[in-house]
Amino acid sequence: MIALLQRVREARVEVQGRVVGAIGPGLLALVCAEPADTEAQAAKLVDKMLKLRIFADDAGKMNRSVVDVGGGLLVVSQFTLAADTSSGTRPGFSAAAPPEQGRRLYEAVLRLARERHTPVAAGEFGAEMQVHLINDGPVTIPLRVV
């Protein structure tokens, strides 16, 4: 699975003008499933997201996790993270999981995250979404688990 994590001061997701998920300080996680991915990879991804030390400690060093700082987690499905841009100028998306598998794994990520952390907010799988965020730092971390 692939994720792009952004440390945020705040973030929200809108679908057709209505807010479907929002957090204050924490992590925005754009998440993509690939065809070979399983729920075991979803669990590893959630574990890594929650434990990744990208928040400042009292000395200003990145030494705290989103759990340590009590931050929010906003999880948004993002199949375009699997884009193949190796040839031409139009990305291909065949490396992303098929929609049914993608939905199942996205929902597994949400379920596992909610079992382990609070607050967890979400986008809407398969919807046309507008993501608003204030990136803190900026800190943006690509993450892949196999």
Burial class (CB in 10 A: 0-12, 13-18, 19+), 58: exposed
Over residues 8-32, the pLDDT tens digits come to: 999 999 999 999 999 999 999 999 9
CB atoms within 10 A of CB 59: 6
Output the pTM of the full model: 0.96
Q: Which tokens go with 23?
A: 């957090």
Over residues 80-138, the pLDDT tens digits come to: 999 999 999 999 999 999 999 999 999 999 999 999 999 999 999 999 999 999 999 99
Given 38, 80, 118, 130, the catalytic residue: 80
Can you give the pLDDT at residue 33? 98
CATH class of 2-144: alpha beta
The residue with tokens 């705040």 is 10
Can you give the pLDDT at residue 22? 98
Domain ranges of the chain: 2-144
Given 6, 41, 55, 78, the catalytic residue: 78
Report yes or no: 89 and 41 within 8 Å, Cβ to Cβ. no
**Residue 80 annotated among the catalytic residues of the structure:** yes
Cα distance between residue 66 and residue 84, in whole Å: 31
**Residue 79 annotated among the catalytic residues of the structure:** yes
Cα distance between residue 85 and residue 58, in whole Å: 41
**Residue 93 annotated among the catalytic residues of the structure:** no
The residue with tokens 């952004």 is 6
Q: Which tokens go with 85?
A: 């841009």
Given 6, 41, 55, 79, the catalytic residue: 79
Can you give the pLDDT at residue 145? 95
